Amino acid sequence: MKRSNRLVILTEFFMENPRRHIQLPYFVDLCETTKSSISEDLDIIDNVLKTQGLGYLERTTGAGGGVKYIPELSKEKSLDFVGDLREKLEDANRILPGGYLYMTDILGNPKFVREIGRIFASRFSKLDIDVVVTVATKGIPLAYSVASLLNVPVVIVRRDPKVTEGSSVSINYVSGSSRKIQTMVLPKRSLPEGSNVCIIDDFMKAGGTINGMISLLSEFNAKVQAIGVLAEADDEEEERIVTDYTSLIKITNVDLLNNKIEVQAGNFSIE
Amino acid sequence: MKRSNRLVILTEFFMENPRRHIQLPYFVDLCETTKSSISEDLDIIDNVLKTQGLGYLERTTGAGGGVKYIPELSKEKSLDFVGDLREKLEDANRILPGGYLYMTDILGNPKFVREIGRIFASRFSKLDIDVVVTVATKGIPLAYSVASLLNVPVVIVRRDPKVTEGSSVSINYVSGSSRKIQTMVLPKRSLPEGSNVCIIDDFMKAGGTINGMISLLSEFNAKVQAIGVLAEADDEEEERIVTDYTSLIKITNVDLLNNKIEVQAGNFSIE
Taking an 8 Å cut-off on Cβ atoms, the answer to whether A108 and B156 are in contact is yes
Please provide residue A160's backbone torsions phi and psi, each rounded to the nearest 5 degrees. -145, 145
Q: Could you report the per-residue pLDDT of A190-222, keeping only the tens digit for each?
A: 999 999 999 999 999 889 999 999 999 999 999
Euclidean distance between CA atoms A172 and A234, whole angstroms? 24
A170 CB neighbour count, 10 Å cutoff: 15
Ramachandran region, residue A166 (left: φ > 0; alpha: ψ -120 to 50; beta: rest): left
Residues facing residue A65 across a β-bridge:
none
Tell me, what's the pLDDT at A271? 64
Quote the pLDDT of residue B98: 75
- pTM: predicted TM-score of the whole model, two decimal places: 0.96
Identity of the residue in B98, B148, B190 whose CB atom sits nearest the CB atom of A114: B148
**Mean per-residue pLDDT for A20-35?**
96
Question: Contacts of residue B142 in chain A, CB cutoff 8 Å?
Answer: none
Taking the Cβ of residue B156 and every Cβ of chain A, the question of whether any pair is shorter than 8 Å is answered with yes
Q: Which residue of A has its CA nearest to B160?
A: A137
Cβ separation A190–B155 shorter than 8 A: no
How many Cα atoms are found within 13 Å in the side-chain-facing hemisphere of A121?
A: 29
| B108/A153 CB distance under 8 A | yes
Asked if B45 reaches chain A (Cβ–Cβ under 8 Å), the answer is: yes
β-bridge pairing A55-60 and A66-71: antiparallel
Can you name the residues that pair with B265 across neighbouring β-strands? Answer: B249
Q: What is the pLDDT of residues A54-112, one digit of tens each?
A: 999 999 998 888 999 999 999 999 999 999 999 999 999 998 877 788 899 999 999 99
ipTM rounded to 2 decimals: 0.95
Contact at CB, B8 and A12, closer than 8 angstroms: no
Express each pLDDT in A105-154 by its tens digit. Answer: 999 999 999 999 999 999 999 999 999 999 999 999 999 999 999 999 99
CB-based contact (8 Å) between B18 and chain A? no
Residue A147 at interface with chain B, using a CB cutoff of 8 Å: yes
- Each residue's pLDDT tens digit in chain B (271 positions)? 999 999 999 999 999 999 999 999 999 999 999 999 999 999 999 999 999 999 999 999 988 889 999 999 999 999 999 999 999 999 999 988 777 888 999 999 999 999 999 999 999 999 999 999 999 999 999 999 999 999 999 999 998 877 667 789 999 988 766 678 889 999 999 999 999 999 999 999 889 999 999 999 999 999 999 999 999 997 777 778 888 999 999 999 888 889 899 999 999 998 6
Read off φ and ψ for residue A144, nearest 5 degrees: -65, -35
Q: Which of B8, B49, B155 lies nearest to residue A48, judging by beta carbons?
A: B8
Angstroms from A169 CA to nearest CA on chain B: 15
What pLDDT, in 10s, does the model give residues A152-168? Answer: 999 999 988 776 677 89
With beta carbons under 8 A apart, name residues in chain A contacting B47: 5
Structure confidence by residue, pLDDT tens digits, B114-159: 999 999 999 999 999 999 999 999 999 999 999 999 999 999 999 8
State the CB neighbour count (10 A cutoff) for residue B185.
Answer: 18
Chain A, 248 to 267: residues with Cβ < 8 Å from chain B are: none
Residues on chain B touching A110 (C-beta within 8 angstroms) = 144, 147-148, 151, 153-154
Q: Map residue A75 onto helix, strand or coil.
A: helix
Q: Please tell me whether residue B265 adopts helix, strand or coil conformation.
A: strand
Chain A environment of B151 (Cβ under 8 Å): 110-111
Query: Which residues in chain A are contacts of B104 at CB distance < 8 A?
Result: 164-165, 187, 189-190
Domains annotated for chain B, with CATH where assigned, are 3-71 (1.10.10.10), 75-269 (3.40.50.2020)
